[in-house]
């Protein structure tokens, strides 16, 4: 009986899981529904971000690949003039290694998971391979390797590949060791295994004898409370049989515990092998072997940090030259005996990647925490690649500045900074638009909600300042210990915020909470130590307790027992919430006494409290997220309390099992609308956390560390850890989503006020490297929903045929007439009619019809007056057409209709909205109604003049055909040819009136002559299209002259038309061959 129950259980569980997945797919509120809401990346690129590796095409050094530590893989075909991300579809964002097949540079291998064990570390899911230069990727396995330290491909047989799998930095097990594939990555064998705690962080190959390989193992572990940077299992290994067996190398190497190592074989003389070692008891240093690793000589005590650096590169021409990338990169010219600093002027510190040109060793690429630099003179000078937007943000916040708010954030080793969410420039947001508020590693920023010039910014360990945006001054305001008080324990990422109840009140926290009532000038301590105060050395690590002398123990690791999240209730003053790195939430209702909570359902004890968010609507409700990543636990822990922390329930729901939650935020209008940022993306819930939906339009796989809402604009702003800031412009449509909403046939969401202004021109001639992040599309967005779109006749037929094919039934073949009907059918499309408050239609827009929530933008201009162009001589109902002059501010409405099979059906009628002028001009028009009236009058004249000119050109061409037909017809008379010639000269006079004499260089260099109509018109339209000032007298006069001079020209065109009609009639009489535009008579 028991076996039957087990069998039934095993059978039913997969069915239940399948049913659950099926139900999830049926949920009408899903990612596809909101595909029209797109995230916008605003960079920046001026500070770039951490680089892990380079792979340069040996046949074309202008083409290379960059492994970005937390920003995926980027490729350039032109030495960094332009870049493109090429692996955004893979399941990891953190990349440690990129390698090219030595026999085919179009074959690219990447190892996911950054290859170090520092504090801000992303993890991967194994190895990927591309066969087409990064256009597509194949997953090659090693899912649980977490961090890949190296990849080597056998130059004799590229199907033989070695992967150094470091394994998780935060826990045991998984796939760690050295793996070998003999079939191009389809299958793997572990050929070097050390233990569940120790993987392989390097593998290198002898270029002369590829069966000789060297590998280094690294025993390391990082948790929130500690870091062990090495151990007795760290070692150096050698294989002489293609990696099938391995020998540990010890002769001349330290006997003390070793940590992170770097190893390299000289391509000049592969007998020379170099090794850099971090070790306990000061036993580390730089070592050299001249006999292929059989014995080693310590060349110097020089070594660097194994958790972050210790990568070395041999020079391709000089056997004694080696480069070691680190805080300030070093190089040796004597095999490691002495070291010099590589040039670092005007360059960021903390290097991790290096490539040297084998044909010119003065030319190299170097990558680090601040991006990519290229030098052509051995490091004397550098070119910075200022167009790679891969900044790692810890935090984000926004201000209330006008007309556009600013975005602030703190970065990994690239300062705290601010920049605009958008600009008035047509170029968008450029690097020079950003400003630094605090140096170092950046973290929390708080901006005075009433005065955006008062900014509080932070660097690591609570290094906070009050920054004056007007003057760029800053003053240190970090709380310091009182007399007799011990130093505070600050976390790397210490909280700092402004009270929502008093904009002069600040809060910050170390192991205690501090409050200032005077913008940070003075502080009060309002708590004792709110952590568990547990000794970080009371826990075993890798099943052992470690000495203080362990390799790099706790180096570059925050003190443990610190406050890492903090929030104040917007509903009740002095209701404060604290989250600690050792798993506590503490709550105070009087800013004096604190209630400790240490147990949370489903959350392991002492789990890092990544975020706390008190409800905007109910003082009893608070949300909390927990991050247990540094104990190798990647589950999403997300909880809600409805009784001020007394009890908690999980609201993680259907969030992916692999993806820690970093942050949570609640909408300010709909209490059930929540957003969370996780290790691999952004999610929202419209059910208070019962069900979550991913927002991925425009956002690659990325760690979303923090979120902020700009309430005036209803914008959601994301801090990603490797791709900069993203903005979801006007997410307000999400507030209305529910099961009932999706049953509507169609809907136009409430429309935000439009802002009209003249966009500023971009700086001219900056080349392709000039970085520009996009503004939102200029104008008023119309966000709409359509439940279903009628299918085309072809789609209906294909659907029926598919069903018949599945059933094995005969498929009727469409007739030619039916096929032609399908071919001529226009796919359904939408029409948006925009009218002013008097009911006048000012613009019509069209857009392809597709179901779900989409957006179309009106550029706040009237209909275009320019002549129509048809692409490829084919009607396109959704071809985008630019408008003309900007409309007046005022009240407008828009209706939405659907066109399907030549029938028009109104879906939504007259949704109102307003347009407002930015009023940013110094000399605005005193009467904008008159200004716009003139512009409309000028536009109408332009429509006629331009149309007449185009018509004249077409008519002149037609006359040329007529003359040729007359010439070729035996019955044509000389009088007929004379009339054609007269007409031709008449049209030539007309065209001269439009265009005047053609200048060899500049019109101003021509002798004085009659001003052409076209010149006067272009000047008139160009001037009016870029100004909101009063119409000048010159412009008015130009309009009058143009109107007056155009009339006689128009009359000449009419005369020419009459002549052509007579000529065409006569051509028919004499039975002349066909000419364009003339239908032969049927008699």
Look at residue 26 in the predicted model and tell me its pLDDT.
72
272 phi-psi bin (left φ>0, alpha ψ -120 to 50, beta other): beta
Question: Is residue 948 scored above 80 in pLDDT?
Answer: yes
Distance of CA 167 to the CA centre of its chain: 28
Is 931 in a helix, a strand, or coil? helix
Residue 844 vs residues 754, 847, 896: alpha-carbon distances, Å: 17, 10, 10
**Phi, psi for 915 (deg, rounded to 5):** -120, 135
Look at residue 899 in the predicted model and tell me its pLDDT.
96
Look at residue 156 in the predicted model and tell me its pLDDT.
98
The predicted model gives 709-721 an average pLDDT of 98
Residue 371 sits at the vertex; the CA angle it makes with 368 and 376, to the nearest 5 degrees, is: 90
Write down the residue that tokens 């059930």 correspond to: 672
Q: Which of 908, 776, 939 is nearest to 833 (CA)?
A: 908
Is 1030 in a helix, a strand, or coil? coil
- Print burial letters for 262-299: b (CB count within 10 Å at least 16), e (below 16): bbbbbbbebbbbbbbbbbbeebbbbbbbbebbeebebb
Q: Which of 219, 230, 232, 235 is nearest to 275 (CA)?
A: 235
What pLDDT, in 10s, does the model give residues 80-115? 999 999 999 999 999 999 999 999 999 999 999 999
The predicted model gives 640-658 an average pLDDT of 98
Question: Is residue 869 scored above 70 in pLDDT?
Answer: yes
Distance of CA 700 to the CA centre of its chain: 7
Look at residue 711 in the predicted model and tell me its pLDDT.
98
Compute the half-sphere exposure of residue 258: CA atoms within 13 Å on the CB side of its CA: 24
Whether residue 402 contacts residue 417, with contact meaning beta carbons closer than 8 Å, is answered with: no
Count Cβ atoms below 10 Å from residue 668 Cβ, excluding itself. 14
- Paired sense of beta strands 406-411 and 393-398, if any: antiparallel
Look at residue 1001 in the predicted model and tell me its pLDDT.
87
Is 960 in a helix, a strand, or coil? helix
User: What is the C-alpha to C-alpha distance for residues 29 and 853, in angstroms, rounded to an integer?
Assistant: 11
Question: Is residue 16 scored above 60 in pLDDT?
Answer: no
What pLDDT, in 10s, does the model give residues 555-612? 999 999 999 999 999 999 999 999 999 999 999 999 999 999 999 999 999 999 999 9
Question: Is residue 1061 scored above 70 in pLDDT?
Answer: yes
What pLDDT, in 10s, does the model give residues 25-39? 578 999 999 999 999
User: What is the C-alpha to C-alpha distance for residues 697 and 718, in angstroms, rounded to an integer?
Assistant: 13
Residue 490 vs residues 531, 562, 695: alpha-carbon distances, Å: 12, 6, 34
User: What is the C-alpha to C-alpha distance for residues 833 and 134, in angstroms, rounded to an integer?
Assistant: 44
The predicted model gives 688-701 an average pLDDT of 97
Compute the mean pLDDT over every residue in the chain, rounded to the nearest whole number. Answer: 95
* Burial of 837: CB neighbours in 10 Å, binned 0-12, 13-18, 19+: exposed
User: What is the C-alpha to C-alpha distance for residues 71 and 82, in angstroms, rounded to an integer?
Assistant: 16
Count Cβ atoms below 10 Å from residue 1055 Cβ, excluding itself. 14
Look at residue 555 in the predicted model and tell me its pLDDT.
96
Question: Is residue 8 scored above 50 in pLDDT?
Answer: no
**Phi, psi for 1042 (deg, rounded to 5):** -60, -45
User: What is the C-alpha to C-alpha distance for residues 143 and 125, in angstroms, rounded to an integer?
Assistant: 4
Question: Is residue 4 scored above 60 in pLDDT?
Answer: no
User: What is the C-alpha to C-alpha distance for residues 1070 and 986, in angstroms, rounded to an integer?
Assistant: 24
**Residue 840 is encoded by which pair of tokens?**
């006048």
Distance of CA 160 to the CA centre of its chain: 35
Determine what percent of the chain is predicted with pLDDT higher than 90.
93
| Residue 358: partners with Cβ closer than 8 Å, 6 or more residues away | 58, 316, 317
Look at residue 484 in the predicted model and tell me its pLDDT.
95
Contacts of 75-78 spanning 24+ positions with Cβ under 8 A: 75/133, 75/134, 78/768
Question: Is residue 125 scored above 80 in pLDDT?
Answer: yes
Whether residue 408 contacts residue 398, with contact meaning beta carbons closer than 8 Å, is answered with: yes
Question: Is residue 9 scored above 50 in pLDDT?
Answer: no
Instruction: For CA atoms 721, 722, 725, 731, give the dihedral sign.
Output: negative
- DSSP states along 450-469: S-TTEEEEEEGGGEEEEEET
* Burial of 470: CB neighbours in 10 Å, binned 0-12, 13-18, 19+: exposed
Largest distance between two CA atoms of the chain: 118
**Phi, psi for 759 (deg, rounded to 5):** -70, 140
Look at residue 25 in the predicted model and tell me its pLDDT.
55
* Burial of 434: CB neighbours in 10 Å, binned 0-12, 13-18, 19+: buried
Distance of CA 558 to the CA centre of its chain: 29
User: What is the C-alpha to C-alpha distance for residues 335 and 985, in angstroms, rounded to an integer?
Assistant: 86
Question: Is residue 14 scored above 80 in pLDDT?
Answer: no
Of the candidate ranges 471-475, 851-855, 880-884, 1050-1054, the one whose mean pLDDT is the lowest: 880-884
Look at residue 20 in the predicted model and tell me its pLDDT.
39
């Amino acid at each position: 009986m028991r076996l039957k129950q087990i069998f039934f259980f095993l059978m039913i569980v997969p069915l239940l899981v399948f049913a659950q997945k099926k139900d999830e797919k049926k949920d009408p509120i899903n990612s596809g529904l909101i595909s029209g809401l797109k995230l916008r990346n605003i960079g920046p690129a001026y500070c770039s971000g951490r680089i892990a590796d380079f792979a340069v095409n040996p046949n074309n050094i202008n083409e290379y690949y960059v492994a970005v530590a937390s920003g995926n893989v980027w490729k350039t075909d032109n030495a960094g003039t332009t870049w493109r991300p090429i692996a955004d579809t893979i399941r990891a964002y953190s990349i440690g290694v990129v390698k090219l097949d030595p026999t085919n540079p179009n074959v690219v291998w990447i190892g996911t998971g950054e290859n170090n064990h520092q504090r801000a570390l992303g993890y991967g899911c194994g190895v990927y391979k591309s066969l087409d230069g990064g256009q597509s990727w194949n997953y090659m396995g090693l899912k649980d390797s977490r961090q890949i330290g190296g990849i080597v491909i056998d130059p004799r047989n590229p199907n033989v590949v070695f992967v150094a799998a470091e394994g998780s930095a935060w826990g045991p097990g998984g796939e760690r060791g050295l793996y070998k594939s003999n079939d191009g990555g389809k299958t793997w064998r572990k050929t070097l295994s050390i233990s569940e705690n120790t993987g392989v962080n390097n593998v290198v190959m002898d270029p002369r004898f590829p069966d000789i390989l060297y590998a280094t193992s690294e025993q390391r572990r990082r948790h929130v409370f500690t870091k062990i940077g090495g151990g007795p299992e760290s070692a150096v290994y050698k294989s002489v049989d293609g990696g099938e067996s391995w020998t540990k190398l010890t002769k001349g190497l330290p006997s003390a515990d070793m940590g992170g190592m770097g190893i390299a074989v000289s391509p000049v003389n592969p007998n020379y092998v170099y090794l850099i070692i971090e070790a306990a008891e000061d036993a580390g240093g730089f070592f050299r072997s001249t006999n292929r690793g059989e014995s080693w000589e310590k060349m110097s005590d020089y070594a660097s940090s194994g958790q972050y650096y210790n990568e070395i590169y041999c020079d391709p021409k000089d056997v004694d030259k080696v480069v070691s990338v680190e805080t300030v990169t070093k190089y040796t010219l004597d095999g490691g005996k002495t070291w010099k600093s590589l040039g670092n002027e005007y360059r960021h510190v903390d290097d991790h990647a290096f490539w040297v040109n084998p044909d010119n060793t003065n030319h190299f690429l170097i990558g680090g925490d601040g991006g990519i630099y290229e030098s052509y003179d051995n490091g004397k000078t550098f070119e910075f690649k200022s167009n790679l937007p891969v900044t790692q943000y810890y935090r984000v916040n926004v201000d209330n500045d006008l007309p556009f708010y600013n975005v602030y954030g703190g970065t990994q080793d690239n300062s705290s900074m601010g920049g605009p969410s958008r600009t008035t420039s047509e170029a968008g947001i450029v690097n020079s638009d950003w400003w630094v508020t605090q140096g170092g590693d950046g973290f929390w920023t708080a901006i005075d909600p009433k005065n955006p010039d008062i900014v509080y910014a932070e660097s690591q360990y609570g290094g906070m300042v009050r920054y004056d945006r007007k003057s760029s001054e800053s003053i240190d305001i970090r709380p310091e210990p009182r007399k007799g008080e011990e130093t505070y324990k600050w976390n790397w990422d210490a909280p700092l915020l402004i009270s929502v109840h008093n904009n002069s009140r600040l809060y910050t926290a170390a192991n205690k909470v501090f409050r200032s009532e005077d913008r940070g000038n003075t502080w009060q301590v309002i708590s004792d130590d709110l952590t568990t105060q547990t000794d970080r050395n009371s826990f075993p690590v890798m099943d052992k307790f470690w000495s203080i002398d362990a390799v790099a123990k706790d180096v570059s690791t925050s003190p443990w027992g610190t406050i890492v999240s903090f929030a104040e209730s917007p509903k009740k003053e002095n209701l404060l919430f604290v989250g600690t790195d050792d798993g506590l939430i503490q709550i105070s209702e009087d800013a004096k006494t604190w209630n400790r909570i240490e147990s949370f359902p489903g959350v392991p004890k002492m789990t890092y409290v990544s975020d706390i968010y008190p409800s905007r609507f109910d003082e009893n409700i608070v949300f909390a997220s927990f991050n247990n990543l540094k104990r190798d636990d990647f589950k999403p822990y997300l909880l809600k309390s409805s009784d001020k922390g007394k009890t908690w329930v999980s609201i993680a729901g259907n969030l992916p099992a692999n993806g820690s939650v970093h942050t949570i935020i609640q909408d300010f209008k709909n209490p059930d609308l929540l957003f969370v940022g996780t290790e691999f993306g952004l999610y929202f819930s419209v059910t208070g956390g019962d069900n979550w939906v991913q927002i991925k339009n425009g956002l690659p796989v990325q760690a979303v560390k923090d979120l902020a809402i700009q309430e005036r604009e209803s914008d959601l702003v994301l801090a990603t850890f490797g791709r900069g800031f993203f903005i979801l412009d006007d997410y307000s449509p999400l507030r209305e989503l529910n099961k009932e909403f999706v049953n509507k046939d169609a809907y136009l969401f409430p429309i935000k006020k439009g802002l009209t202004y003249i966009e500023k021109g971009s700086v001219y001639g900056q080349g392709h490297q000039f970085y520009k992040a996009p503004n939102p599309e200029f104008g008023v967005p119309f966000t709409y929903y359509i439940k279903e779109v009628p299918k085309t006749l072809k789609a209906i037929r294909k659907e029926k045929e598919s069903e018949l094919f599945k059933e094995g039934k005969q498929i009727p073949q469409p007739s030619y007439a039916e096929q032609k009907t399908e071919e001529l059918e226009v796919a359904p499309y939408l029409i948006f009619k925009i009218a002013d408050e008097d009911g006048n239609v000012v613009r019509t827009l069209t857009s392809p019809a597709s179901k779900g929530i989409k957006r179309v933008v009106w550029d706040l201009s009237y209909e275009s007056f320019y002549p129509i162009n048809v692409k490829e001589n084919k009607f396109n109902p959704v071809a985008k057409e630019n408008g003309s002059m900007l409309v007046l501010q005022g009240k407008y409405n828009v209706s939405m209709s659907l066109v399907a099979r030549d029938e028009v059906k109104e879906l939504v009628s007259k949704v109102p909205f307003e347009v407002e002028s930015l009023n940013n001009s110094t000399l605005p028009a005193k009467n904008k109604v008159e200004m716009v009236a003139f512009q409309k009058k000028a536009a109408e004249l332009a429509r006629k003049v331009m149309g007449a000119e185009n018509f004249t050109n077409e008519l002149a061409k037609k006359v040329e055909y007529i003359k040729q037909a007359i010439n070729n017809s035996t019955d044509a008379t000389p009088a007929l040819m004379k009339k054609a010639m007269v007409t031709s000269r008449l049209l030539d006079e007309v065209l001269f009136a439009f265009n005047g004499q053609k200048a060899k260089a500049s019109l101003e260099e021509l002798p004085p002559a009659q001003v052409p109509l076209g010149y006067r018109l272009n000047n008139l339209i160009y001037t009016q299209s870029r100004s909101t000032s009063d119409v000048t007298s010159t412009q008015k006069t130009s309009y009058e002259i143009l109107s007056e001079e155009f009339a006689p020209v128009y009359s000449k065109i009419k005369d020419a038309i009459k002549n052509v009609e007579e000529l065409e009639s006569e051509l028919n009489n004499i039975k002349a061959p066909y000419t364009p535009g003339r239908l032969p008579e049927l008699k």
